[in-house]
Amino acid sequence: MIASLESIAQKIRSGEHDGAREALGSAQASAETKSELKFLRGYLKELSFDRDGAAVEYESLLQSDPDHGEAAFRLALLCDQAGDDDKAIELYETCTEHPPMHVNAALNLAVLYEECGRFVDAEHLVRDVLAEYPNHTRAEEFLESILSTESMTYDERAQRDRDLRDNVLDVPITDFELSVRSRNCLKQMNIRTLNDLLRTTEPELLSYKNFGETSLNEIKALLTEKGLQLGQAAQPVEPPPPPLRQHSLLRFSGDATSAMRKSISELELSVRSRKCLQRLGITTLGELTVRSEAELLAIKNFGQTSLTEIKRQLAAHGISLRESGVSA
């Protein structure tokens, strides 16, 4: 039965999903193989893009076999990708509690620790990886990134001021003395808090039916008393990403041009790098090559470590990022 399980796992990894599904359907579970068969069912669903179904299988397996490290890691990865950081951290921690070290779980957990400000915990995890694997490139680069972040000064007073400001901005509009007309207009525009109001410009207010100069002046006077003004928190409209035009392919040829159509999911990227690319809506290597280093480094939580990782992956496919100042 062990050879059969290995054969099924190989079919799943190689994309022979129909054959794996048939083999799993006919496999006879014993007390020794029950957990592994359930894991393989989840793994098959995960690689068949049924992530919800995979999560159900992994969770069911962990209820009956809490020490199944690989199921915990796969479920942690699914939670991580879905943005459920708390559950992902809990599961990654489970994976790292017992030897041998699960390197990918440790590094992914370190990324999440760093993102939530637990720099010391992140550093300890990465140092544990390097203690066992001294030449682990990703761990070396990540440790450098963590130490760089830790060395930055942290202005606690400024943070307290920001927290206080956020509390003020969350005050409901109903707490302010406004005329019935102004109040009704703001309600119909779905402007509920002071922060909503600061995100709205004068033209936007005046464009609304029944909202005139009198109401505008009333609201401006209210904000002036608080040292605020309309539109000061309006989000700038970001230009759409440059389209992947045909001439952007002229930099590459042959296999490189074919690689441009590959999915980002095919790259071996850290969770942090993958999340940053998701924020930009980048799904293919071609869409990535029309971005410059400066554009990527401007993304929140995207640092030199992620940039180096992505450049290495692109180079392996014979392609590169756009040079700054060169149009796509």
DSSP 182: H
- Predicted pLDDT at 90: 93
- The predicted model gives 193-217 an average pLDDT of 83
CATH of the domain spanning 164-225, picked from 3.30.465.10, 3.40.50.300, 3.30.56.10, 1.10.150.20: 1.10.150.20
Average pLDDT for the chain: 79
pLDDT in tens, 55-108: 999 999 999 999 898 999 999 989 988 888 899 999 999 988 878 888 889 999
Reduced to 3 states (helix: H, G, I; strand: E, B; else coil), residue 237 is coil
CATH class of the domain whose range is 246-316: mainly alpha
Q: Which two tokens stand for residue 6?
A: 């290995």
Nearest alpha carbon to residue 290 among 262, 324, 259: 324
- Predicted pLDDT at 256: 61
The residue assigned the tokens 């939670």 is: 79
The reply to whether 246-316 shares the fold of 164-225 is yes
Nearest alpha carbon to residue 79 among 99, 101, 108: 108
pLDDT in tens, 217-242: 888 888 888 778 888 766 554 455 55
Domain boundaries, the chain: 164-225, 246-316
- Predicted pLDDT at 246: 43
Q: Between 205 and 236, whose confidence is greater?
A: 205
Rounded Cα distance between 110 and 270, Å, is 11
Whether 247 has a pLDDT exceeding 60, the answer reads no
Whether 4 has a pLDDT exceeding 70, the answer reads yes
pLDDT in tens, 275-311: 778 777 788 888 888 888 888 887 766 777 788 888 8
Reduced to 3 states (helix: H, G, I; strand: E, B; else coil), residue 172 is strand
- Predicted pLDDT at 155: 47
Sequential DSSP letters for 145-202? HHHHHHTS---HHHHHHHHHHHHHHTSBGGGS---HHHHHHHHHTT--BHHHHHTS-H
- The predicted model gives 13-18 an average pLDDT of 86
pLDDT in tens, 148-168: 766 553 444 455 555 545 666
Cis peptide before 100 (omega within 30 of 0): yes
- The predicted model gives 188-205 an average pLDDT of 83
- The predicted model gives 37-44 an average pLDDT of 90
Contact criterion met (CB below 8 Å) for 310 and 264: no
The confidence band for 251, taking pLDDT boundaries of 50, 70 and 90, is very low
- The predicted model gives 249-262 an average pLDDT of 60
